[in-house]
Chains A and B, each alone.
Chain A
Amino acid sequence: MIEATGLTKHYGRTVAVDNLSFGVGEGRVTGFLGPNGAGKSTTMRMILGLDRPTSGDVRIDGEHYRDLKRPLTTVGALLDAKWVHPNRSARAHLRWLAAASKLPYSRVDEVLDIVGLTAVANKRAGGFSLGMSQRLGIAGALLGDPRVLLFDEPVNGLDPEGILWIRRFMHRLAAEGRTVFVSSHLLSEMAQTAQDLVVIGRGKLIYQGTVDDFIANATENTVVVRSPELDRLTELLRADGVSLVADGDAIRVSGVDSAAIGELAAANKIVLHELNPQIGSLEEAFIQLTGDTVEYTAHTDQHTAPAEPAGATEEAPPA
């Protein structure tokens, strides 16, 4: 259980995190969502006692991180995969971490095996690809077999294979009953990984709750309709006061479900070529909710997630 209350961090005049309060539930994967620069990493650093909050407080199971004994056995974290000395071998990096937490060195080989780095354990970490560094970081996070895991943008910059590996790994950790708090600016990624969401923009809390509620509350469900008699159907729908927009050779209807549209078409003997209900995506929900709090969005990585409907993510949000 991670509990933040009124967490605030100023860097000079910049307000990185602004009166942020949220909770991360036990045994679930909670996504920490927000655009780049929203204050996710700062929040994570404050959870880990690396940065001091300007005001407010964050506790793990009721304790400040700095007061934890052998903290790696309570909280494992991967904030930045490049936080290793490039001339130190993967094994040596994990060995000093193990020593600091009074863990047996045999645990080092175990975690190396879990993340699949056994073969390169004695190679210098500086020569690792990003994917390998990420695995090494995860090995470090798992070292103390902690109940709580924190990951900051774990799929950032990874190739599709690496993303898949991380995603499976998160599920496995959650299935083992661990609390996983994972940040991302990739909304599609969160839809696939998380059950709960904490959404922030410009350092402020925007939403906290389940992923399903987030999508249901924040998006409008629409139906895509294709027909050779589109003009007539449009007129009939408009006559009923239904709102719709043209979308190429189709129309996008909102406010009524597909059944009602089908019945209306049948009653008027209109042929339908397509009647396709669209489920709102996280992307749409996010843009709807965050509005102008979106500072940057990233696009390209989302193509690796085939389940995503095209659309919202490709549009530049209002600045």
Chain B
Amino acid sequence: MTALLATERIKLFTTRSPWWSMIMTLGITVGLAGMVALTHAGDRPLTVEHSQFGSQFGLMIITVMAALAVTTEYRFATIRTTFQAVPNRTSILLAKTAVVTGLAVVVGEITAFGSWAVAKLIDGGPELSIRDSGDLRMVAGVGLVYGVAAVMAVAVGILVRQSAGAISILLIWPLLAENLVGLIPRVGDDLRNWMPYVNAGRFLNGVDPEMPLSAWGALAYFAGVAAVLLGTALVVANRRDA
């Protein structure tokens, strides 16, 4: 497995997309945190939550990066070279998932703590201190959410194989479709409670007592959906022609 992880690590870091997605995620989220801290005024103090203003934006960039890590392999047919070198498709795709997820977690932690640190430097208000587990989860949890989102993106990438299709699904689903589900009368709210990205948000931003899952339960649910999708993707990749 270490050899496979090394393979996928080399593959990921010898193209440009992980680099620019890291720089963009870092630059934009930390930049937004700084901007919020600078422009903030008025009666309500700046909170830890404010410092994570750009995290959803970073989430989308990481999602695109993770999807591209797979779809570009299909586009340039390097997936065939890959399966030729490692015919055990499940293990090499799991190695890829692990590498991409690892990167997503690291980028998530750096951007989250970076954003918080920048906000704290600029504002320094007491509400910005990480005082309880909820505050910590809000910052440190970003990496976990990015990681699970990366698994989701890799899975969708394997299933769809096409950059445009995978990115469209992965962006329209959390940004629009999950919100529209909430608009459905009567059942909408119940359905929305079981939407994966809604649960990711709930994990980060605290729990509404009305919700069925605890914060960590929500993350586990988000991870569960990702795992099921990945499992499906692996089965499909094993069955079809490369």
Beyond A66-B87, A83-B77, 17 additional pairs, beta carbon < 8 A: A50-B80, A51-B242, A52-B241, A66-B88, A67-B87, A71-B84, A79-B80, A80-B77, A80-B80, A83-B76, A86-B76, A89-B14, A96-B7, A97-B7, A97-B81, A100-B4, A100-B86
Inter-chain contact B92/A100, CB cutoff 8 Å: yes
Is B10 in contact with chain A by the CB < 8 A criterion? yes
Inter-chain contact B3/A95, CB cutoff 8 Å: no
Question: CA of A48 to CA of B14 in the docked complex: distance in angstroms?
Answer: 26
Inter-chain contact A84/B7, CB cutoff 8 Å: no
Q: A interface vs B, CB < 8 Å?
A: 45, 48-52, 65-68, 71-72, 77, 79-80, 82-89, 92-93, 95-97, 99-102, 140
Q: Which residue of B lies closest to A42 (CB)?
A: B241
Q: Which residue of A lies closest to B239 (CB)?
A: A52
Of the A-B pairs whose beta carbons lie under 8 Å apart in the complex, a sample of 18, sorted by A's number, is: A45-B242, A49-B84, A49-B87, A51-B241, A71-B86, A77-B84, A82-B77, A83-B77, A84-B78, A85-B11, A85-B72, A87-B16, A99-B3, A99-B10, A100-B82, A100-B85, A100-B86, A102-B3
CB distance from B65 to the nearest CB of A (A): 14
Total residue contacts A-B, CB cutoff 8 A: 84
Question: CA of A95 to CA of B14 in the docked complex: distance in angstroms?
Answer: 10
Question: CA of A49 to CA of B242 in the docked complex: distance in angstroms?
Answer: 9
Q: Please, what's the 1-or-0 string for B36-76, where 1 marks a CB less than 8 Å from any CB in chain A?
A: 00000000000000000000000000000000000011001
Question: CA of A83 to CA of B86 in the docked complex: distance in angstroms?
Answer: 15
Question: CA of A83 to CA of B74 in the docked complex: distance in angstroms?
Answer: 10
Question: CA of A79 to CA of B7 in the docked complex: distance in angstroms?
Answer: 21
Is B133 in contact with chain A by the CB < 8 A criterion? no
Q: Please, what's the 1-or-0 string for B91-118, where 1 marks a CB less than 8 Å from any CB in chain A?
A: 0100000000000000000000000000
Considering only residues 1-53 of chain B, those with a C-beta below 8 Å from chain A are 3-4, 6-8, 10-11, 14-16
CB distance from A11 to the nearest CB of B (A): 9
> Given A50-B80, A86-B76, A102-B3, A71 and B10 touching (CB < 8 A)?
no
